[in-house]
Homo-oligomer: A and B are copies of this chain.
Amino acid sequence: MLTQSTSASANHVNPAPAAVRAGQFGSLAMHPGIVVTEYSYKRGEEIYGEDEPADYVYQVVSGAVRTYKLLNDGRRQIGSFHLPGDMFGLESASIHRLTAEAIVETTVRLVKRRNLEALAGTDVSVAHRLWTMTASDLRHAEDHMLLLGRKTALERVATFLLEMDRRLAVAGMMALPMCRRDIGDYLGLTLETISRTLSQLHSQGILEFSGARQIVLRNRTRLANMES
């Protein structure tokens, strides 16, 4: 735990600029010694790599991020998609366990991990918050293991659509930032299976397209029954 106090203890004098979607992250800007920076990444750009030092913790401001692991021959498993408001890159160890990449042009807010940890060392509520965030990632991973190990293609796609609808639908429509291959690598399927399954749901009138990535769910109940 470093008790460093960087430049920005001035931050509590000039508090939280542009804290629109700030949530958890924004409130941190109130603490002296916590510097919040913004950075943008181009579509496809790597934010950090697997096994690299975990020096920063991130929050998506706009855009979308995928975090994934690779096997030596290129097979990829995406662990999660991070959408505006989501935090990612938080590790209790000093190394990132997955690679993070911008799916589209993406802006993130970031803070130094060692500053966060130092704060957690003096402020129990911050320590509790870090734990809670990691526990919520674990909860998602546990649900996803059930999906990957035991659900059918149709059940996986139904689960995916409901998750995305909940997380990014605006006025009943979701604009998916990721391609079919990303969805496949998230659900443990191929891009062709994703495409076929979406077509099937479309032909059953459960969803409507306006372009391949703009989807409206027409019958959430029926979809929820398919989740199994």
Residues of A within 8 A of B (CB): 69, 71-73, 75-77, 79, 91-93, 97-98, 120-122, 124, 127-128, 130-132, 134-139, 141-146, 148-151, 185, 187-188, 228
* B93 and A135 contact, CB distance less than 8 A: yes
* Interface SS of chain A: helix
Nearest B residue to A92 by beta-carbon distance? B135
* A150 and B97 contact, CB distance less than 8 A: no
A150 to B75 alpha-carbon distance, docked (Å): 7
A79 to B141 alpha-carbon distance, docked (Å): 10
* B228 and A73 contact, CB distance less than 8 A: yes
* A131 and B92 contact, CB distance less than 8 A: yes
Min C-beta distance of A181 to chain B, whole Å: 13
* A72 and B228 contact, CB distance less than 8 A: yes
Other 14 A-B pairs with CB < 8 A, given A71-B151, A75-B150: A69-B146, A77-B145, A77-B149, A92-B128, A92-B131, A92-B135, A92-B136, A93-B139, A134-B135, A134-B138, A138-B141, A141-B145, A145-B148, A150-B188
| CB < 8 Å neighbour of A139 from B97, B132, B135, B185 | B97
The 6 closest A-B pairs by CB, nearest first: A149-B188, A92-B135, A141-B141, A148-B148, A131-B131, A127-B127
Nearest B residue to A150 by beta-carbon distance? B75
Nearest B residue to A93 by beta-carbon distance? B135
A139 to B124 alpha-carbon distance, docked (Å): 24
A136 to B143 alpha-carbon distance, docked (Å): 17
A128 to B137 alpha-carbon distance, docked (Å): 17
Interface centre among A72, A93, A138 (most CB of B within 10 A): A138
- CB neighbours (8 Å) of A72 from chain B are 228
A213 to B135 alpha-carbon distance, docked (Å): 34
Given contacts A71-B151, A124-B121, A151-B71, contact A77 B146 (CB under 8 A): yes
| CB < 8 Å neighbour of A130 from B122, B131, B137, B148 | B131
Min C-beta distance of A122 to chain B, whole Å: 8
A137 to B75 alpha-carbon distance, docked (Å): 23
* A77 and B131 contact, CB distance less than 8 A: no
